[in-house]
Amino acid sequence: MASNRMIAILAAALFTLSTGQASARDYLVLVAGDCGDAASKVVRDTGGQLLSAQPSNDGRTCIVTVLVQGSGERPRKVTVRVPM
């Protein structure tokens, strides 16, 4: 079942396409621009706390930044580029 966010993104993309302000390529980047799964995987793999997740300029990868707590140390920031 599609989430409300995905439906809103699709509706906005279709509206923009129908008004001629965007190309089909822009529409595909909007749909592919969800980094939720990639962020969940990085958080699960590192045991860290999610700071940010955003699609890269190429539209194929996500840049995910997490804060990883060490044992008795100051947390370190880890940035990972993962496929969408």
**pLDDT at 3 (0 to 100):** 55
Q: String of b and e for 35-50 (b: at least 16 CB within 10 Å)?
A: beebbeebbeeeebee
Q: Give the global pTM.
A: 0.59
pLDDT at res. 13: 60
pLDDT single digits (tens) 67-84: 999 888 899 999 999 988
pLDDT tens-place string over residues 37-66: 889 999 999 999 999 999 888 888 999 999
Classify the C-alpha dihedral 12-39-62-84 as positive or negative.
negative
Query: Predicted confidence band at 29 (pLDDT cuts at 50, 70, 90)?
Result: very low
